[in-house]
A and B are shown apart, each in its own frame.
Chain A
Amino acid sequence: MEMGRDLALLAPELTLAAAAMLMIVAEMFRAARLVLAIGLAGLAAATILTLPMLSVDATVFGGTYRIDLISGWAKLILLPGTALSLLLVRAEIAGRRREGSVQSLVVLVTLGALMLSGAGDMMVVVIGVVLTGLGSFALVAWPRDDAATEAAMKYLVFGAVTGSVMIYGLTFWFGGSGSTLFSKLGQLQGQTLVIITGLIAIIVGLGYKGALVPFHFWAPDAYQGAPVSIAAYLSVITKAAAFFAFAQVLRDLPRDGGWPLALAVIAAATMTYGYLAALVQTYLVRLIAYSSVAQSGYFLMGVVALGASGFAVPGILVFAAAYVAMNLGAFAVVLLAGRNLGDLEGFGRTHPWLGAAMVVFLLSLTGIPPLFGFVGKFYLLSAAVEAGYLWLAIIGILNSVLALGVYLRLVVPMYRTSSTEHPSEVGAVLAQGTVVVTVLATLLIGLAAGILPGP
């Protein structure tokens, strides 16, 4: 009886898991197209199954996994984002070695991301971190050249260390509250040292996943070593999942022990460092990698305000949706234009529509209204102000100016006259399709912000 209800609530996750298994089976027959078709069908089915459950607020398996606003919207954001990533993967590596394995791994990592987004229990967070981590290492290593191998090794070692620290630290919460459930964290009220120890563990573990300073070192290397489509995928899906997990963990934690302040400092450092580092990059993928690090800082503004502002959770969700659309779109344009800053030279003149789309993505990443990214940033800034972190909001807006400086470094060369050839690659149609979908989302969803979760 109880089990039946639980399974019904888990329909999207189960559908995706089944699709991932079928993809692996299909890959055994080296039927790459079939793998992709199963993956897309599974993602679509899971998305549709999520829709009627958006207003549900329940837990399954004894409270360890949550079906609530955060996990519902997480599915609506992560599943379509994954589908677009699959298209980009296909566009980039169609017909190459083990294409189907890459596709299957992507879907499995997304399954891990869903677990993180719905985590109601410490062990579920650990499983989510491991599941997303293992798949990601393999994805980064896929090109099998020196750069990719080195990046994957770094990623793996970093992941192993931070994961161990997280598991060790979480034992303090378990010891303090007598339970691995996050809903019991309220019992830690007053045990400041325990709160802080467990929190450091969470910050290390999830901060690594979300590429927060100072746990971001793996990100630029991994994005650079991996195929562009995989970099795009990792930069949006696993990162957004990390912040959904933050939201699940910290919304039950008493706001003492100064953790909001500690996170605020990390947020300020992350956004500032990310943009400053991005300013001096000459390699396009690295530049976007550092800009993604900076965006993590904005996500964290919402985390800082958890429990103190009604804007915090909607802010994280809306910004995640915007971020998935605009960052995937920007990476899709990079896939079409080339990995170096010089490849953008004159790109806006030879490809007016793709150039205009790139401008939209970059302005949205800056936070210019009425684009989608602005709505997200607006909610996050409101959350910070309402939670009493005006200084963090001020640092946030100052960084928006820095962001503009970073992104104009891409816009300006795009409209210079140049003779650089931009050969159209195989599979360009799929990448262009991704650009169309993401640019429409970036342009229009911000205007229709009423349909999104609000305070």
Chain B
Amino acid sequence: MPLLTIATFLPILAGLALMALPDRSTRTAHAVSIAATGAVFLITLAIWARGIVAGDFAQVEEIAWIPAIGAAYRLGVDGLSLPLVLLTSLLFFLSALYSARIGERAASYVVLMLMLETASLGTFMALDGLLFYVFFEVSLVGMYFMIAGWGYEERQRAALMFFLYTLLGSLPLLLAIIGLYLGSGTFDMRVWVEGTALGGLPAMLALIAMLVTFAVKIPAFPVHTWLPAAHVQAPTAGSVILAGVMLKFGTYGLVRFAYQMTPEAFAQAGQVILAFGVVSALYGAFAALAQSDLKKMIAYTSVNHMGYVVMGVAIAALATEPRIRTIALDGATLQMVSHGLVTGALFFLVGMLQDRAHTRGIGDFGGLLGRVPWLGWAFILSAFASLGLPGLAHFPAEFQIFLATLNGMPWGLIAILAIVITAALYLRAIAGVFLGEMNDKWADMPDLDRREKLVILPLLVLTVLIGVAPGWLIDMIHTTMMGLGN
């Protein structure tokens, strides 16, 4: 059974079916959405159960598409993409559950969400350069309409900025893809990842083009400015998908394209890339510290966390010892998953808070922990995870990245300063919102209901599980990274 294809196209087909239904009421729309995303989640679990292989892509599905130019429909997974595929299907399922209260043009909303899921899964599983680009761009269109149609007050501006910025960012990738094609005569990414399609100046030009694209997507300093605007205006589920899934396009591309396809150029530029990672990590933390809006604050911590990923990949290119390279890549990949879970949870929680209070300013709250203990403790746990507390999801990832940095490029360790800053800003946010004097305005705020608990619990459980016993996930990642590190 072509499970990868089914998982990728089931959402969009469900969306099309919904459009064709005579009954497009809010209820039906959300039922279709939950059923489709739930089914996709189960299918990705089955893909996981089938397993991956070391040193190659597993479960490859291939059909001719444009034979004249060597482009084909090719899907497959490895230890880099499979964790992200699982993360994607989980976050979309939870977003569908969370969104079940959206009444405004629910059918259109659901169709967009399902289209985004197809685009996201396709981006991670595509093994054809042209196909990857197709999915990559379709996700932009979906997110544009999501923000423009269901965002907050300033949504038109934010959506426009998001679309123009990320389109400008992604077009250089198209040139890199053309370059890789002209250098190899095929669009097969399995050929490209051997790293021999381009060399010398063309490889460096392609690398620069790819770095521009992925830096915008990640987002790394100084091309991150679209992120806070988009996040603040996006609807909650949009923020979760944007941060949890779509930022990973950037880091995934950084490893899959930049690191694997132009390895020599990447190693030459390694110091510069590492510097961008360190600066992003520090800048994200400081910028987050300056925010009083919870959502904006979390958005900036994404810049910080993604900065660590960039550092990890750069160290992998710079280090000479295979063991260190593997550790760096393991850590970077795990960090992508952890960030998706933890930041996903945080955006959900801020969304839930905003649904109740219609404000997100830290100063507007106070002493909420007694009033809404579920919401409060869930937020505190996620915040602790986000600041890298041992025993929670970010710790094993960041530990490996810093370990590799210490062995490879010790100067990069100044980024550890960012952890202190993050700790400070999260403690400040927790104190401001959940501790202290209770603000009487919120005296009758309801705690999480059953559906909301259902959304948040899986994320918290996984956050703890990865923190305490990350073996099951790291083993899968390691299977592939062992090959990439050598």
Contact = CB atoms under 8 A, between A and B. Distances in A.
B413 interface: no
Interface stretch (A12-20, A58-66, A87-95, A377-385): A377-385
A450 B181 contact: no
Contacts of B148: 412, 415
A240 B69 CA distance: 24
Nearest to B182: A386
B160 interface: yes
A401 B171 CA distance: 9
Contact of B172 (A314, A385, A397): A397
Given A368-B141, A369-B137, A369-B138, A378 B174 contact: yes
Contacts of B64: 450
A390 B68 contact: no
A330 interface: no
B48 interface: no
Nearest to A366: B167
B175 A381 contact: yes
B179 A385 contact: yes
Given A369-B134, A386-B182, A400-B171, A408 B160 contact: yes
B160 A397 contact: no
| Chain B, interface residues (CB within 8 Å), range | 20 to 34
A401 B67 contact: no
A385 B141 contact: no
Contacts of B130: 378
Contacts of B181: 382
B428 to A, nearest CB: 38
B434 to A, nearest CB: 38
A452 to B, nearest CB: 8
A363 to B, nearest CB: 6
B221 interface: no
Interface string A381-402: 1100110001001100110110
B384 to A, nearest CB: 41
Contacts of A314: 68
Interface in B204-231: 205
Interface in B66-81: 66-69
Interface string B106-136: 0000000000000000000000001001100
B412 interface: no
A455 B69 contact: yes
Interface in A440-455: 449-450, 453-455
B156 A412 contact: yes
Contacts of A370: 134, 138
A449 B65 contact: yes
B182 A405 contact: no
A400 B171 CA distance: 8
Contact of A449 (B66, B163, B164): B66
Given A369-B133, A382-B181, A408-B163, A397 B68 contact: no
B52 to A, nearest CB: 28
A382 B182 contact: yes
A130 interface: no
B168 interface: yes
Given A385-B182, A386-B182, A400 B65 contact: no
A156 interface: no
A368 B163 CA distance: 12
B68 A455 contact: yes
Contacts of B134: 369-370, 374
A401 B167 contact: yes
A394 B149 CA distance: 32
A389 to B, nearest CB: 12
Interface string A422-449: 0000000000000000000000000001
B175 A385 contact: yes
A247 B474 CA distance: 56
B178 interface: yes
B65 A450 contact: yes
A404 B69 contact: no
Interface string A409-428: 00010010000000000000
A389 B389 CA distance: 52
Contacts of A390: 175, 205
Contacts of B133: 369
Contacts of A453: 68
Nearest to B72: A450
Interface in A126-183: none
Nearest to B160: A408
Interface in B47-67: 64-67
B171 A397 contact: yes
A49 B171 CA distance: 40
Contacts of A415: 148-149
B66 A450 contact: yes
A381 B149 contact: no
A404 B156 CA distance: 14
A453 B69 CA distance: 10
A415 B149 CA distance: 8
Contacts of B69: 454-455
Contacts of A401: 164, 167-168, 171
A211 to B, nearest CB: 25
Nearest to B68: A454
Given A385-B175, A450-B68, A404 B167 contact: yes
A382 B178 contact: yes
A400 B133 CA distance: 15
A436 to B, nearest CB: 15
Contacts of B182: 382, 385-386
Nearest to A393: B175
A450 B73 CA distance: 12
B226 to A, nearest CB: 13
Contact of B141 (A363, A381, A405): A363
A261 to B, nearest CB: 20
Interface string B177-203: 011011000000000000000000000
A398 B175 CA distance: 11
A370 B136 CA distance: 10
A31 to B, nearest CB: 41
A450 B178 contact: no
A94 B140 CA distance: 42
B174 A394 contact: no
B145 to A, nearest CB: 8
Interface in B9-56: none
Given A363-B141, A401-B167, A449-B66, A381 B160 contact: no
Nearest to B71: A449
Contacts of A450: 64-68
B223 to A, nearest CB: 14
A449 B66 CA distance: 6
Given A369-B134, A382-B181, A386-B182, A394 B66 contact: no
Residue picked from A385, A400, A401, most chain B C-beta under 10 Å: A401
A453 B156 CA distance: 40
B173 to A, nearest CB: 10
11 contacts: A397-B175, A398-B168, A400-B167, A401-B164, A404-B164, A408-B163, A449-B66, A450-B67, A453-B68, A454-B66, A455-B69
Given A369-B137, A369-B138, A374-B134, 13 more contacts: A369-B134, A370-B138, A378-B130, A378-B178, A382-B182, A394-B175, A398-B168, A401-B167, A412-B148, A412-B160, A454-B66, A454-B67, A454-B68
- In order of increasing CB-CB distance, the 10 nearest A-B pairs are A454-B68, A397-B171, A369-B134, A370-B134, A401-B168, A450-B66, A449-B66, A369-B137, A382-B178, A385-B178
Interface of A: 314, 363, 368-370, 374, 378, 381-382, 385-386, 390, 393-394, 397-398, 400-401, 404-405, 408, 412, 415, 449-450, 453-455
Interface of B: 64-69, 130, 133-134, 137-138, 140-141, 148-149, 156, 160, 163-164, 167-168, 171-172, 174-175, 178-179, 181-182, 205
